[in-house]
Amino acid sequence: MSSIKTVGIVGAGTMGNGIAQACAVSGIRAVMVDISEAAVQKGLATLQSSLERLVKKDKLSATDRDAALALVQGTTDYEALKGADLVIEAATENLELKIRILRQLDGLLPPETLIATNTSSISITQLAAVTARAERFIGMHFFNPVPLMALVEVIRGLQTSDATHDAVHELAQRLGKTPVSVKNAPGFVVNRILVPMINEAFFVLAEGVASAEDIDAGMKLGCNHPIGPLALADMIGLDTCLAIMNVYFDEFKDSKYRASPLLKEMVAAGRLGRKTGHGVYAY
């Protein structure tokens, strides 16, 4: 498979515009589609201000910024994706929505076009099966914020071909990322290890083993983590952490994935973290 020259992105939100920026800065054309003109313009504005910050910090020249902006197209017209070699679905983490988008893409795109999903939790095998190109379907899980985070999980569904995997793996490297190859499984690699660790921190907190501040200090200083697990839960959103634990519990039917009662109680109280102004910590 020849190398990917144009990438289509469905969704102009945080992940979508971040992926578009990573492509454009690497000299790859990016076509970003969203349902409303307002969403498209907001995505383009975010991308532009992100590039401006890089110029101010002397990490990007003004010439390179202009070259990158020239490679990005924002539109509400799905037809604009027809020229892409790969289309990445980066919509909200909702199964029905993703299935609807993937069926639409599958019907629209030429049969040789690759499709990837940026899901962080939904089965790649299940999503691939709703298309007529399951062997050309793959997971490409970027981390937030995309321009700064070096990792991409490249996730093979049961049906994904070697050629598809290799083309997407190579693209991730061209974007300056470090790809890791992962088999389809709940939570893939990073979240499968990370979220149960966060959940365990809630058990430790509930048992009164240490204060929230001391638990976080312990993991930062003892394990060299840049942020403690409870502060990280507040950033991710406690509701999101709980939802992920519930997925693992349902999928594996293993009690080690049971959600901490304290985590459940805080979600019930509406203390979801930074987005509500209060989680483990007050903001």
CA pair distance 166, 168, nearest whole angstrom = 6
| Cβ count within 10 A of residue 254 | 9
pLDDT at 189: 97
Query: Catalytic one among 17, 118, 123, 141?
Result: 141
> Given this model, what pLDDT does residue 121 score?
86
141 is catalytic: yes
Domain spans in the chain, listed from the N-terminal domain onward: 6-183, 191-276
Quick one: which of 70, 68, 28, 65 has its CA closest to 175?
28
Q: Which amino acid, 107?
A: G
User: Is 15 known as a binding-site position?
Assistant: yes
Single out the catalytic residue among 121, 123, 184, 191: 191
Read off the pLDDT of residues 136-170 as tens digits, 9 standing for 90 and up.
999 999 999 999 999 999 999 999 999 999 999 99
Q: Could you report the per-residue pLDDT of 77-89, keeping only the tens digit for each?
A: 999 999 999 999 9
Is 216 labeled as ligand-binding? no
pLDDT at 3: 87
Helix/strand/coil percent split, the chain, to 5: 50, 15, 35
Pick the CATH number of 6-183 from 3.40.50.300, 3.40.50.720, 3.40.50.2300, 3.20.20.70: 3.40.50.720
Q: Is 135 labeled as catalytic in the residue annotation?
A: no
Cα–Cα dist 201/3, whole Å: 44
Tens digits of residue pLDDT in 168-190:
999 999 999 999 999 999 999 99
CATH code: domain 191-276 is 1.10.1040.10
DSSP string, 106-125: HHHS-TT-EEEE--SSS-HH
Q: Tell whether residue 13 is among the known ligand binding residues.
A: yes
pLDDT tens-digit map of 251-274 = 999 999 999 999 999 999 999 999
pLDDT digits (tens, 9 = 90+) for 175-228: 999 999 999 999 999 999 999 999 999 999 999 999 999 999 999 999 999 999
Is the confidence at residue 1, as pLDDT, over 80?
A: no
**Predicted confidence band of residue 2 (pLDDT cuts 50, 70, 90):** low
C-alpha to C-alpha distances, 73 to 40, 100, 151, 243, 270, nearest whole angstrom = 9, 23, 25, 34, 39
Contact 153, 139 (CB under 8 A): yes
Instruction: Give the residue from 145, 103, 138 showing the smallest Cα distance to 119.
Output: 138
Catalytic residue status for 120 = yes
